[in-house]
A = this chain, B = another copy of it.
Amino acid sequence: MARDERRARGTRSAGRTSGEAGAPTGGIREVARAAGVSVATVSRVVNGTAVVRDETKRRVETEIARLRYAPHAAARSLITNRTSTVGVVLPDIWGEYFSEVIRGIDLAARQAGYHVLVSSSHSDAAETRDVLRAMNGRVDGVVVMAPHASPRALSSAMPAGLPSVFLNSAPGGADAPSLSVDNRGGARAMVAHLLALGHRRLALLNGPGSNRDAAERRRGAFDAARAAGLAAESVLEIQGDFAEESGRVAGEELLRRSPRPTALFAANDSMAIGALYALRRARAAIPADVAVAGFDDVPIARFASPPLSTVRHDIRSLGERALARLVAEIDGRGDGLPAREVLPFHLVLRYSTEGIDTETTTEPSRPPRAGAPTPEPTTDRRRKAR
C-alpha cells in the first residue's frame, strides 16, 4: 500500500536519447539521466562540494529547474547524519507565553540555519517520551519544556545520544543543560516591593500544585515575606490553576476574609487579571484597598484596568538562548558552558500596586548564581515614555 503510493508519486518520464523507459526513479537519478551525467555530478552541482565544469553545471541546473527537482531531505540526512532541524517539545502552543518561546526559538534557529519541528500538547510523561522518540532521526537536537516530568524521567526518555536542552526544569538530576526563568527571584522581588509599600496582610494566589514554575514563585514569595519578618502563617494562600477564571474566584474569596489582605500576589498575570475583575466588580479600590501584582507581563497586563504590576521576563530571549545553547551542544562546543542558566527579569510597576498612572521598570536583574538568593533589585524609577 505504502509502496503503491510511492510509485504513484514518482515523476514518470521516458528515457532520453536511449529509448529505455525503465526505472522512473524521479529523483537525482532522473536529473542525472536527463542531463547526461552521473548522480555524483548532480550532487556536486546541488551542494557545490566540488568543482564542476561550467558547461556541465549549466546543463544540470537547467534540468533541475525543468524537473523541479528538490533533494530528498530524508535520504540526505540519512547519509550525512545531519537534519538541520531542531525539535521543540512544549506542553502547548498556548497563548502568549508559548508562542513567544517558539518565536524566539524560530528566530534564532532560522539565523543558525535550522528548521524547527514543534510538538505540543502532550500532557503526560508517557506521551512526552513517545514524542521524543519520534523526533529521533528527524532532528539534530531538542529543546524540551516539560513542567510536569521529573528531569530524571526526562533524561531516560531521551533517545540515546540526542543533544538536548531543558527549559524551566528542576535544577538537579538531568545531564542536559537547562535554562530557566528566574521564577523565585522575580516573585521574591515583587513581594518585597509590596511589603516595601507597607502592606502587611499578604495573599498569595498560587498556580497549579504540579507546576514547577508555580512552586518556585511561591517559594520566592515566602523568601521575601520571611526576609521582611512576616510570619508564614499570616500569609493567606489561595489555590489557583493559572486560568483567569480561578483568579476571579480567588478575588471573591479574598474579599470574604475578615482581616482582609491588602495585597495580592498572583503566580501569573491571567489569574491576577481575573482577580482584578472580581475586585473591581465588588467596588474594591485598587490599589488603595487591595494592591494586585502578577507575573509574566503578558501584553494585556498593560491594558488591564487598572494596569497591572507584574514581573517581566523576556520569554523570547529564553527561546533564543535555548536554541543557541542547543546549537552549541550539537556542535560539541557545549562542554565548557555552564549546565544551568537563569535568565534575568524586570519588575514592571503599574497602577495596580503603585496607584499612579505611569509605568516604571527596574534594570534587568543580573542572572543570579545558581541557588544563591537574589537581593531585591534596586527599583530605580526611570519614567518610561509609554
Contacts and interface: CB of A to CB of B under 8 A. Distances in A.
Interface in A105-154: 106-107, 110, 115-121, 132-138
A220 B6 CA distance: 45
Copies in the complex: 2
Contacts of A119: 110, 115-116
Contacts of A106: 93, 118, 120-121
B11 A137 contact: no
Given A99-B93, A99-B102, A102-B93, A136 B72 contact: yes
Contact of A6 (B81, B133, B332): B81
Contacts of A134: 70, 73, 84, 115
B159 A70 contact: yes
Nearest to A302: B300
Nearest to A156: B68
A93 B101 CA distance: 10
Interface in A1-59: 2, 5-6, 8-9, 11, 26
B6 A85 contact: no
Contact of A2 (B82, B85, B161): B82
B2 A159 contact: no
Interface of A: 2, 5-6, 8-9, 11, 26, 67-78, 80-85, 93-95, 99, 102-103, 106-107, 110, 115-121, 132-138, 156, 158-161, 299-300, 303-305, 332
Given A11-B161, A73-B136, A106-B121, 18 more contacts: A2-B82, A5-B332, A67-B160, A68-B160, A69-B160, A70-B136, A70-B159, A71-B136, A73-B74, A73-B135, A74-B137, A76-B137, A93-B103, A95-B99, A117-B118, A118-B118, A138-B138, A299-B300
Given A103-B93, A134-B73, A138-B73, A85 B160 contact: no
A112 to B, nearest CB: 13
A85 B137 contact: no
Contacts of A300: 299-300, 303
A5 B99 CA distance: 33
A161 B299 CA distance: 42
B81 A2 contact: yes
Contacts of A107: 121
Given A67-B160, A116-B118, A304-B303, A81 B9 contact: yes
Contacts of A94: 103
14 contacts: A5-B81, A8-B332, A11-B161, A70-B136, A72-B136, A73-B137, A73-B138, A74-B74, A93-B106, A99-B102, A102-B118, A115-B117, A115-B134, A299-B300
Contacts of A9: 81, 161
Contacts of A136: 70-73
